[in-house]
Amino acid sequence: MSAPQVSSVRSGTACVEWKATPGLPFEWGADPDLWLYRKRTLSILYRFLRLSCEAGRLPSILGQEFFRNHITSYNLSSFEDVVIFVHDVERCISRLDRESQELIARIALQGFTQEEVSRLTGRCHRTINRRYLEALDQLSTILLEVGIILHFPEMAQVDPEACQEGETSACGLTM
């Protein structure tokens, strides 16, 4: 991770900004529809945490830290399915840069608020919010690439030259 730089000082507390970190090449704003997948990505993360704990394994992204998030229940058909799912999601998370992994671990998996993470890391709340959403979008991109999350169906394109009336045949009947 690159060295932090103090960007501004507000009421005695310094806001620390991080320069871009090496990791998955991700161009912010390249796909404006990625925000649609954030809830799906979060549900995959919650499922990953619960299933990895049920399989007797704490996710490596958390290390040995205690987590406090409430997880909803999901069912898979066999232990092998659980192991494969946990392994696949863990590999997807490992493709993120270290900062994104940290934000996802603290906010999504451990249940910290963005304000708490801001205080813990010494970074501005806005920076944490922006970077967390970028991390979710990066993870959504990866999950879409590997097929853990499926793309939304394409919406039918409306022909701009079409009118509301039906086409008329040569004899004057509407088709």
pLDDT digit string, tens, across residues 34-86: 888 899 999 999 998 888 887 776 666 555 444 444 443 445 567 888 888 88
Burial of 123 (0-12, 13-18, 19+ CB in 10 A): buried
Cα separation, 102 vs 127, whole angstroms: 14
DSSP state of 169: -
Question: φ and ψ at 38, to 5 degrees?
Answer: -60, -45
Angle subtended at Cα 7 by Cα 3 and Cα 13, rounded to the nearest 5 degrees: 100
Identify the bridge partners of residue 6 per DSSP, sorted by sequence position: 16
Cα separation, 1 vs 21, whole angstroms: 6
Q: What is the pLDDT of residue 60?
A: 61
Q: Check residues 13 and 171 and name the one with the higher pLDDT.
A: 171
From the list 127, 142, 136, the residue with the least C-alpha distance to 46 is: 136
Question: φ and ψ at 167, to 5 degrees?
Answer: -70, 150
- Asked if 134 contacts 30 with a C-beta cutoff of 8 angstroms, the reply is no
Q: What is the pLDDT of residue 34?
A: 84
Q: What is the pLDDT of residue 66?
A: 43
Q: Is the pLDDT of residue 133 over 80?
A: yes
Cα separation, 78 vs 23, whole angstroms: 34
Q: What is the pLDDT of residue 5?
A: 45
Burial of 45 (0-12, 13-18, 19+ CB in 10 A): buried
Return the percentage of the chain with pLDDT > 90, whole number. 37
- Asked if 67 contacts 45 with a C-beta cutoff of 8 angstroms, the reply is no
Q: Is the pLDDT of residue 16 over 70?
A: no
